[in-house]
């Protein structure tokens, strides 16, 4: 016998009947269709009421004008003239829609094309719509009663009690036909517009759903580890392509950041393992073999030096992170960069002389700048340290700085901004094109620089400082050697004497804080 399960299998989850209503694309499409249909109803209702109201006002205006003209004929010639005028108008009425009636104070018929006064017409201050039979056809007539001047005896609230009275009207059968025709036309038009609204809602629903599903599939694949997935592009440059490009750019940025974190983690584990292991070996060797306090103290000092190098690496990483986060922008100020460059050159001139290297300066008399003074000094120091470290004995290191000409004979732009070019060139071992492409990656060391001291963070810090100031950094061959060039924007406030307040670094010269060498770091600088 086969064993029976203790519990029956659970039924599959039931699909909620309201699940479709939770779709954002469906709600958006329904809202679009409903708004389209309602707007069409409002527009057609306005058109209907406007047209019918215009026809009614036209009839009322014609009746009032006709009554005034007849009253004038009554005043001029009395009943004979009025009767003759009415007969003439009836003969000239080609549409056969005019209605006239004149009665005496006793209600007797005098003239007109209506045999008797309508019993419902009792007042002169209102309009009446009454059924009318003309030529065997039933229709509606728009009527208005008037008192002929000089004949009324008494009036109570406009009631026609006595005197000669005039009834003027129009047969509005044509207006009724037009109203029905207009109503039917607008109804059919509304049906067609509603069908178009439904079709548009379905189309919008499909487009919206396709876009959202594409985003959902891509992000779901990335969330499950497939970092190579990207949003597909249609290629027509519409809004969907723009969204897809923005998402793909964001994903590329995330992948680069993850690769950078992975590379930095591997570099930290690889580069810091050696000094830590060396310090441990020195301490362990001293503990086992040191026979005098001097030997033990020397081993401890060497281990402390190795650990200090480790601490310096972490301090440099933290400093780079702070600079890239923009936390140093509060220290921006206007200053002259020439004294800063001279101070750094004086500091490294002694180091260059110890290595038999000549340090040459090419600086103008003044270089107004707006930025962080200490960070600019740090960047130039790192560049000079690299140049001296890799220059051969008897070589020359050049430090150059100048204002760039933005136009022939002009160093300022239309709004007063400028551009500063700063470079450090050496005659050392140089770098290959592949190494220059990775020159600012943290902990990256070119093969030629493997045997030199340093952790590979100097140019990383230079790049972070340049980006903070909204500038660009470029490495090029010097043949022999390497040239590190910086292009730094200068705010208009630093170049003017009117005391204007300097803007934030993001707005200097309209440049964004990006570098043409994204995610490129140091190759051969020491940690400063």
Same domain, 323 and 458: no
pLDDT tens sequence across 208-255: 777 778 788 888 888 887 778 887 877 777 777 787 888 888 888 888
Predicted pLDDT of residue 173: 76
For 318, counting Cβ atoms within 10 Å of its Cβ (0-12 exposed, 13-18 middle, 19+ buried), the class is: exposed
Boundary (domain end) residue, out of 276, 305, 327? 327
Predicted pLDDT of residue 21: 53
Separation in Å, CA 8 to CA 4, 12, 13, 14, 197 = 9, 12, 15, 17, 49
Kindly indicate the confidence band of residue 424, based on its pLDDT and cuts at 50, 70 and 90: very high
Q: What is the mean pLDDT of the chain?
A: 75
Same domain, 305 and 346: no
Structure tokens at 214: 């594409």
Residue 366 gets which letter from DSSP?
-
Give the global pTM. Answer: 0.46
Tell me what percent of the chain is helix, strand and coil, each rounded to the nearest 5.
50, 15, 30
Same domain, 338 and 482: yes
Kindly indicate the confidence band of residue 397, based on its pLDDT and cuts at 50, 70 and 90: very high
Same domain, 473 and 381: yes
Backbone angles phi, psi at 359, to 5 degrees: -105, 115
Instruction: State the total domains in the chain.
Output: 3
What's the CATH number where 444 sits?
Answer: 3.30.565.10
Spatial separation of the C-alpha atoms in residues 67 and 78, rounded to whole Å: 15
Predicted pLDDT of residue 398: 92
Same domain, 318 and 341: no
Predicted pLDDT of residue 516: 31
Kindly indicate the confidence band of residue 151, based on its pLDDT and cuts at 50, 70 and 90: very low
Instruction: Report the SS3 class of residue 86.
Output: helix
Predicted pLDDT of residue 524: 37
- The closest of 424, 425, 414, 450 to 523, measured between CA atoms, is 450
Q: Would residue 278 count as lying in a domain?
A: yes
Q: What is the mean pLDDT of residues 448-474?
A: 75
Same domain, 383 and 487: yes
Kindly indicate the confidence band of residue 328, based on its pLDDT and cuts at 50, 70 and 90: low
Predicted pLDDT of residue 2: 46
pLDDT tens sequence across 90-140: 888 877 788 888 888 888 888 888 888 888 888 888 888 888 766 666 778
**Omega cis (within 30) before 283:** no
- The closest of 183, 139, 142, 147 to 164, measured between CA atoms, is 147
Q: Would residue 200 count as lying in a domain?
A: no
Same domain, 345 and 398: yes
pLDDT tens sequence across 86-101: 888 888 887 778 888 8
Q: Which domain holds residue 425?
A: 329-406+416-494
415 or 500, which is more confident: 415
Predicted pLDDT of residue 422: 92
Q: What is the mean pLDDT of residues 355-383?
A: 88
Spatial separation of the C-alpha atoms in residues 455 and 310, rounded to whole Å: 9
Kindly indicate the confidence band of residue 399, based on its pLDDT and cuts at 50, 70 and 90: very high
Predicted pLDDT of residue 342: 92
285 or 518, which is more confident: 285
pLDDT tens sequence across 162-207: 478 888 888 877 777 777 888 888 888 888 888 887 787 778 777 7
Spatial separation of the C-alpha atoms in residues 374 and 510, rounded to whole Å: 24
Spatial separation of the C-alpha atoms in residues 420 and 488, rounded to whole Å: 5
Q: Would residue 193 count as lying in a domain?
A: no
Spatial separation of the C-alpha atoms in residues 431 and 459, rounded to whole Å: 14
Kindly indicate the confidence band of residue 147, based on its pLDDT and cuts at 50, 70 and 90: confident
Select the highest-mean-pLDDT range: 12-21, 258-267, 400-409: 400-409
Of 130-144, 433-447, 513-527, the poorest mean pLDDT is in 513-527
């Amino acid at each position: 016998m086969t064993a029976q399960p203790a519990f029956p299998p659970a039924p599959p989850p039931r699909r909620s009947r309201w699940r479709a209503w939770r779709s954002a694309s469906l709600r958006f499409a329904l809202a679009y269709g409903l708004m389209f249909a309602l707007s069409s109803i409002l527009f057609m209702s306005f058109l209907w009421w406007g047209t019918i109201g215009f026809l009614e006002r036209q009839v009322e205006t014609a009746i009032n004008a006709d009554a005034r003209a007849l009253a004038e004929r009554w005043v001029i010639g009395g009943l004979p003239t009025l009767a003759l005028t009415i007969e003439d108008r009836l003969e000239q009425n080609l549409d056969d829609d005019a209605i006239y009636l004149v009665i005496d104070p006793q209600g007797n018929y005098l003239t007109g094309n209506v045999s008797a006064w309508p019993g419902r017409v009792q007042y002169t201050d209102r309009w009446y719509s009454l059924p009318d039979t003309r030529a065997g056809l039933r229709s509606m007539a728009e009527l208005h009663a008037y008192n002929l001047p000089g004949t009324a005896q008494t009036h109570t609230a406009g009631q026609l009690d006595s005197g000669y009275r005039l009834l003027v009207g129009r047969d509005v059968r044509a207006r009724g036909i037009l109203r029905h025709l207009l109503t039917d036309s607008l109804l059919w038009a509304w049906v067609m517009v509603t069908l178009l609204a439904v079709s548009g809602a379905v189309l919008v629903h499909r487009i919206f759903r396709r876009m959202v599903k594409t985003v959902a599939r891509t992000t779901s694949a990335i969330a499950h580890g497939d970092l190579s997935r990207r949003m597909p592009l249609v290629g027509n440059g519409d809004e969907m392509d723009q969204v897809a490009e923005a998402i793909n750019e964001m994903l590329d940025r995330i992948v680069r950041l993850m690769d950078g974190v992975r590379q930095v983690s591997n570099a930290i584990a690889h580069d810091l393992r050696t000094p830590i292991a060396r310090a441990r070996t020195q301490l362990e060797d001293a503990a086992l073999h040191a026979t005098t306090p001097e030997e033990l103290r020397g081993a401890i000092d060497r281990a402390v030096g190795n650990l200090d190098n480790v601490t310096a690496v972490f301090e440099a990483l933290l400093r780079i992170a702070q600079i890239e986060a923009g936390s140093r922008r509060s220290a921006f100020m206007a200053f002259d960069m020439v004294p800063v460059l001279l101070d750094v050159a004086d500091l490294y001139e002694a180091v260059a002389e110890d290595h038999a290297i000549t340090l040459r300066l090419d600086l103008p008399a003044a270089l107004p700048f707006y930025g962080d003074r200490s960070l600019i000094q740090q960047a130039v120091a790192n560049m000079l340290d690299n140049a001296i470290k890799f220059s051969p004995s008897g070589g020359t290191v050049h430090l150059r700085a100048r204002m760039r000409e933005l136009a022939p004979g002009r160093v300022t732009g239309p709004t007063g901004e400028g551009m500063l070019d700063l470079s450090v060139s050496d005659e050392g071992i140089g770098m290959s094109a592949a190494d220059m492409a990775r020159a600012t990656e943290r902990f990256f060391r070119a093969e030629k620089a493997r045997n030199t001291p340093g952790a590979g963070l100097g140019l990383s810090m230079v790049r972070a400082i340049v980006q903070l100031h909204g500038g660009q950094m470029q490495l090029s061959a010097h043949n022999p050697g390497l040239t590190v060039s910086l292009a730094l924007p200068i705010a208009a406030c630093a170049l003017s004497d009117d005391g204007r307040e300097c803007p934030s670094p993001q707005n200097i010269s309209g440049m964004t804080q990006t570098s043409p060498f994204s995610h490129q770091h140091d190759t051969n600088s020491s940690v400063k």
